[in-house]
Structure 1
């Protein structure tokens, strides 16, 4: 009966592995590029930055005004058409002329921000791809843990079934059966936890690839990377990191904004032309031109300039901060990768095999009566712990290797 239950438990996983929910890492990345919400938001931000460039290069529109004056409510407005009314009409057109290279500076800053937004799209893709690969390897690990938990639960169920039969003939002590029952309950709890972990891993991956409605059918079918290959074959360079390049461009944009604020001290000029029709006693048409400039009486834009100086300093310090952090991240990623590789190699080279041999020998010895129950249970627990550690080590190495290779992969795409 226990074998039947175990087979039924694995049937959904086998079906999924052959169905539409089975995903390789390449398939998951393809779905992510198509459905990623974070990438879509970054593309919208880039479209907005492109619109800002267009806006920055536009000249100020002229202003058209119509004034009506000399309106007398006592004498009336006069009979006839509008031109015969006893009012004065002034039609005026004004155009602001910017000086000091303000438009060029606006365009320079907007173009730098547009390029930064483009690099933000690349940086967002880099970060989200790292999250995708981690979520995929988490799912692969959850599947492996569920398999181990199911095998362990089935083993304890079969052992308890045999022990209960032996108890009826007086071949084992009741306390041994109780101990087996306790370990079986623990194994069943571990199995339920493994199922919950698998469900969470599926939901995390489903969000990233836009398959929330199909989360329960997702199944990772990728193989773990080989730790015997050189993991540092790819070189990681800071020069082409999109996040650092974007920070540098924002520093350039802040510099252009600072120069634009300083250019506010150069007075803009407004020129105008007008047509005036006077119709009080004798109709008269006249024309005029005008010019106006601001008077820096109360301030000379000191606040705007100070604000722009502070923004430039903040952008410069942010770039320096991000570059220093990136240098540390590369060193940390290298250290993490080497440590994960060493741990996995140690697990695979001896520890896992030793635990399996000890557990197998304990099962044989207990079956022949040469070993006590406590020693058998201890060997089983040790094997399961080592198996879980080995699976976790494979996942940790896969994630560390992906993080290391990601920057090089983006540089090759460029």
Structure 2
């Protein structure tokens, strides 16, 4: 019995990563691979399609009105006829061919191009923002899978030690050293550990499927066991939110709305259409020249002066400014939350790593040794094991929480890279 207690105590001292590495080999996914897959996810692809459409709008906006070719045939005498001869050269038909071109006044082309360019720049920054959001989601799912793997390892070790204790208790009962009640109690603990192991394995599968959905991975795989180290980064200040892609995109949309307002105001300057035609009318002249000038009378004599377009553009600008302020406030709150989450998670993970886990292992080891020598009742041993199990699982949760907070904080610290 002393040998059994020492063996169980040694198991309790093994690190969690050791149990995870003892699992059957399976293809692994590193955090870098998962983050790269996040940058190429379907959501990022959809944002890139929106960017491509916005860039096409720039091309559509940056061109002058095309000249208009006009041909006509008039003064056709249906009563007396048009006379003999070639239709183009001799018949009495007034024929003409001309060109008309609209001169855009008020710098409209440059303004509408500026609107499209600012919108395209905002769409490009949206791509960067979606990529960051997807990376945060993937990193969280990655560490959730890694934590689930660690939990399976820990619970498997607990299940094995409980099974060994049950077997030893049954031998002692047959030898008359312990009562049947104590033997049954160890069996209950063993069955409970088996149920916990099945639950942990199911949770690992769910975490694997969740990560696989985000990165487009199918089949069985594991997250590479690589927890981030505890570093001094936890004392860093919140990120400069002005460098965030979502805030920069909102700023570009304000510039686009301001350019749209300028364009709406420029509509008050009426465009001028100039044109010329060359006429051919046999019997009168073969070369008649026509000059045309067309000017809309919008805004003259009390008619419509683009008030609706201007008011709508002004409202859109104010809306974009409000959205910018809302985005800035949300970014500031998010930056503060990320920094505080990182500090709190680091403190908790450090407490478990340096104080709680070592003491729980020490207490469990002492309980195992005392029980093997008959100096501790079974109920105290079971309580010590339960405490250690709870502490080890809480330690895994603390490390996963710190890893998620640290990765999210790092991703938000990086400047926007559209």
Return the TM-score normalized by structure 2.
0.83
In structure 2, what is the Cα distance between the partners aligned to 1:129 and 1:178?
Answer: 49
Correspondent of 1:268 among 271, 280, 295: 271
Q: Which residue of 1 aligns with 2:229?
A: 226
**Cα displacement string for residues 352-386 of structure 1 (whole angstroms, at most 9, x for unaligned residues):** 12221222223333334433333322222211111
Partner residue in 2 for 1:346: 351
Residue correspondence of structure 1 range 300-319 to structure 2 within 5 A: 300-319=305-324
Distance in structure 2 (CA, Å) of the matches to 1:14 and 1:366 = 33
State the match for 2:253 in structure 1. 250
CA distance in 2, matches of 1:278, 1:178: 119
Instruction: Look up the match of 1:290.
Output: 292
**C-alpha distance in 1 between matches for 2:326 and 2:196:** 45
Residues 1:364 and 2:369 aligned together = yes
CA displacement 1:335-363 (0-9 Å, x = unmatched): 11111111112212221122212222233
Structure-2 residue corresponding to 1:394? 399
Classify the secondary structure of the residue corresponding to 1:273: strand
Cα shift readout 1:392-413 (whole Å, capped 9, x = no counterpart): 11111122222222244337x7
| Deviations, residues 1-59 of structure 1 (Å, cap 9, x unaligned) | xx9xxxxx97983423xxxx2233334334544x4333333333333332222222111
Alignment of 1:52-201 (within 5 A): 52-68=57-73, 82-83=87-88, 89-201=95-207
Name the SS of the counterpart of 1:300 in structure 2: coil
Mapped contact 1:132–1:208 kept (Cα < 8 A): yes
Runs of at least 5 residues in structure 2 that lack an aligned partner in the other structure: 1-7, 9-18
The alignment covers a number of residue pairs equal to 397
Following superposition, the deviation at residue 111 of structure 1 comes to: 2.0
Retained in 2: the 8 A contact 1:362–1:371? yes
Q: Secondary structure at the match of 2:242?
A: coil
CA distance in 1, matches of 2:78, 2:192: 98
Of residues 129-138 and 331-340 in structure 1, the stretch that sits farther from structure 2 once superposed is 129-138
Mapped partners of 1:11, 1:227: distance in 2: 22
Instruction: Kindly report the root-mean-square deviation, in angstroms, between the aligned alpha carbons of the 2 structures.
Output: 3.2
Residues 1:336 and 2:341 aligned together: yes
- Counterpart CA distance in 2 for 1:53 and 1:107 is 6
The answer to whether residue 329 in structure 2 is matched with residue 324 in structure 1 is yes
Instruction: Tell me, in whole angstroms, the C-alpha distance in 1 between the residues paired with 2:378 and 2:62.
Output: 83
Q: TM-score, normalised by structure 1?
A: 0.84
Determine whether 1:241 maps to 2:244.
Answer: yes
Q: Which residue of 1 aligns with 2:15?
A: none
State the distance in 2 between where 1:378 and 1:79 align.
120
Instruction: Tell me the SS of whatever aligns to 1:294.
Output: coil
